[in-house]
Chains A and B, each alone.
Chain A
């Protein structure tokens, strides 16, 4: 009846009709009409479902901290819900929500998502009103999508139609007359979006922005730039550009320059500083030409650099920075005045490109302003870079195949399987050749039998091998379940609460490893490195427990153990005889110690450099390149395996929700990977190391061919680069090379490669 009154009193232009879908017991947003499952449409009521077939409701509110029993802490909830997002109506069949409104034009806002539910559900559906439609794709729970459709109401009720490929979900519908756009937008919609996609007001009040300060004076702006309404400038891609980074005079109106070898990927960036608001901005790139040779524009990926509110570190609270982060694709953009927008191009040099100097341009256009062409100068080198078989680039990985295995429908299964394929291909393109895995079973039953899911593991290993990844495979397995069976407790995060278990525990660990190892051999799988516990603490009880577990693993002949711990901590000394592979965060101990120990005992040293994956504020791009290339070279370590390719809690584009900031690469709604700047820097470091290794191989071949003088010259240049590295256990921000120096050192190496190849 309230809705009818609104209709009677209001004209379309000045009305808003607000609906909160969900359960009877859930809270209703003030000013919104609750819509339950049984709200069937009638003319008398004026709103409701066309049919209740297949409709279900879900509710889970998150407002309070949640107990983390593993760590013994009270953590923020994964998301903060409000009255709209805490519940939803959903279904597997086509459904229509009807609302009778006066004739006129409206914005129909739909909010879609679920606050809790099956993480293996992929919501894939179309929401439409009249001819306006939006394709909604949401992975799992705790993620929401807001779509706005323009509609014209006539004599019939507005029909908000939901057509699923898998399932649909709906939290709220807001029908806003065109005359109300401004008022409702400012008073209701923007605050609502802030609550949903950032934080509710009371939580937001606990955060302050650490505003980046750039106090350099502005350079003079040329009259031509003033007239066109924007400035174009350039910095090396390793240097973060923030919204208010001041352009340098000598970087205005740049020429973009880079060099690369055959098959290599190479970034080029430029930045636009709008002097006024710009709408419909687009970037396009030409072919690159060298005589009659062409690198087609299709070989050049064009993205923008998106700013995200980032914590100062992954587990920090209370302070955020608006930092450059992920690199999404785009069609056109609206650029606000006086805020940098960087564009990131990646040239993929074809394997069969003709070496030489190529020229092209990237064009920037926006509505109502003159366009700008930025010249590109790109040198293709006659070099095929080689990979060092003694080094391994790996990464921790949550494989979507785990979700596919428990997917509730074919569409969801296909989504996760495709996502896994795309991510593997993305890793290959970025030089990654290894991922970690795990295999899970409950503790052994009364007959001593485990229930490891070898079929699922087999799919992952198939993908591993299809993409040319290299062993060994770090294999986690659930010692925690075995511990709980024999002690009745959990040992807690980092073995916080561990106690000495009975002897039966160790026997069962040995049995588990023995079975996995038997299966591995029977199926012809690559070597597994057995990884029973992650990051044990240095407490005496933790160390004693680790000795027990490692001994239990090594009771199986021929296997090797993998431990994530710092080998320079004296407290871990009792574990040392039972560890075959140390994986540590910094490059420590030093190179000489690492190489000596490896030679003497066959121990391997791996590194998980999380300080340049997710344990930062997402800006140590130069540190990432240094870690992956020149730093890795000097370290003596065998493998880099940071945590992690992708990890998200709550909204994957909200880095302030949940206990931790989201880690690393993002993805588009259909699962296509979105890189972050540091992922691109990983590849550049991988390329740096390939240049180094390629030259080392050529020096050896040249020397064996009796050309000692040429080999010596090349070695001197390589030694020069070696000596220029300022060795650190962690390369992050400080004491690194200048941003422009990395490519200059790479060029020194490239020149020697070409010299020894006879190409100069």
Chain B
């Protein structure tokens, strides 16, 4: 049960979190695949078996094994796409009440290193024409990689009836051997109200702008309930604008009215929810439209 843990990769961050020390937020987790479901996956030009290698505490992982062969496979496409696919059970197809998709994958290969595009992940949302397709470029030979993908990056994730891992043999040499150990494929969510993926809609704006927008996700709020997010814009230590937004769970864009003239230069936009605060820097430049 070996695991060499690489640093978790959180895909697509918003602005860096505030410097103030904070406890890691409590998360809830539901596994789609915990490493014990090899029989549920349908491989093609590959094999999938249960393994005890590179597994977490439960000692189970799925091994997707591929012998790259540029001569075999489908007659029309000998250089093809070895893959494995899963139809999740109905209760695991609606991801709308979750915040992240997490994948924990360890990679071994006969090559010296993986190519730039080692493994792809597809989720039909809800069909092939509208699939979410993500190349897992973060994978490294000999390392276990934890990928946390915000579900905000996966449109239409309320109906996900098909999942697939695949490689493009064109990215590999004939004869390469690959083993992808999938320890966990899970959905996670914040257990308490949390602001995530905060970023100003503009990192640079004209000093005579009438509004400044912020984009963020409000997570960890029960269905039908709201939480209050406060926003303050400060320049030179002085508050130049503030706002309070009472919001439901989900993705939001919200605006502060800028009625006090701003000077060219930096300003700090702070979002707070309860005791937690996040800050982003915005640069204001002199407007082209002054007389």
A-to-B contact residues, CB < 8 Å: 72, 210, 248, 250, 257, 259, 312-313, 316-319, 357, 377, 379, 496, 537-540, 568-571, 724, 734-735, 737-738, 740-741, 744-745, 747-748, 750-751
Contact = CB atoms under 8 A, between A and B. Distances in A.
Interface string B273-291: 0000000000001101101
B255 A250 contact: yes
B129 A379 contact: no
B206 interface: yes
B210 A250 contact: yes
Contacts of A496: 76
16 contacts: A250-B210, A259-B289, A312-B129, A312-B130, A537-B79, A540-B79, A570-B173, A571-B79, A738-B200, A738-B201, A741-B205, A744-B205, A744-B285, A745-B204, A748-B204, A751-B285
A68 B47 CA distance: 34
A539 B291 contact: no
Contacts of A568: 116
A357 B289 contact: yes
B203 interface: yes
B234 interface: no
B19 to A, nearest CB: 21
A250 B257 contact: yes
A569 B174 CA distance: 13
B78 A724 contact: no
Given A250-B255, A259-B288, A569 B170 contact: yes
Interface residues of B, number: 35
- Among B204, B205, B211, which residue has the most Cβ atoms of chain A within 10 A? B204
A377 B204 contact: no
Mostly, the B contact residues are loop
B89 interface: no
Contact of B289 (A319, A379, A740, A748): A379
B203 A379 contact: no
Given A538-B170, A571-B79, A248 B255 contact: yes
B70 A540 contact: yes
Nearest to B290: A357
B110 interface: no
B171 A744 contact: no
B228 interface: no
Given A539-B78, A738-B201, A741-B203, A747 B129 contact: no
A669 to B, nearest CB: 33
B70 A751 contact: no
- Among A72, A570, A724, which residue has the most Cβ atoms of chain B within 10 A? A570
Contacts of B257: 250
A257 B153 CA distance: 32
Contacts of B286: 751
B12 interface: yes
Contacts of A377: 289
Nearest to A258: B288
Nearest to B172: A570
Nearest to A568: B116
A570 B289 contact: no
A499 B196 CA distance: 55
Contacts of B226: none
A740 B202 contact: yes
B204 A744 contact: yes
A568 B213 CA distance: 39
Contact of B285 (A313, A316, A317, A747): A747
Query: 5 closest pairs, A vs B, by CB?
Result: A538-B170, A259-B288, A744-B204, A316-B129, A738-B201
B115 interface: yes
Given A250-B211, A569-B171, A571-B170, A740 B288 contact: no
Interface string B253-268: 0010100000000000
A302 to B, nearest CB: 22
B98 to A, nearest CB: 19
Given A316-B129, A748-B285, 5 more contacts: A250-B257, A570-B173, A737-B203, A738-B203, A747-B206
A313 B131 CA distance: 12
A247 to B, nearest CB: 13
B205 A740 contact: yes
A258 to B, nearest CB: 9
A538 B173 contact: no
A250 B289 CA distance: 18
A257 B203 contact: no
Contact of B79 (A319, A539, A745, A747): A539
Interface string B189-233: 000000000001111111001110100000000000000000000
Interface in B97-145: 115-116, 127, 129-130
A379 B204 CA distance: 19
Contacts of A735: 12
A539 B173 CA distance: 11
A498 B201 CA distance: 51
Given A312-B130, A318-B129, A357-B289, A744 B202 contact: yes
Nearest to B200: A738
A745 B283 CA distance: 11
A724 B79 contact: no
Contacts of A379: 288-289
Contacts of B172: 570
Nearest to A260: B288
B70 to A, nearest CB: 6
A747 B288 contact: yes
Contacts of A357: 289, 291
Given A250-B255, A250-B257, A744 B130 contact: no
Contact of A257 (B115, B213, B289): B289
Contacts of B288: 257, 259, 379, 747, 750
Contacts of A538: 79, 170
Contact of B129 (A248, A317, A569): A317
A6 B116 CA distance: 74
Contacts of B200: 738
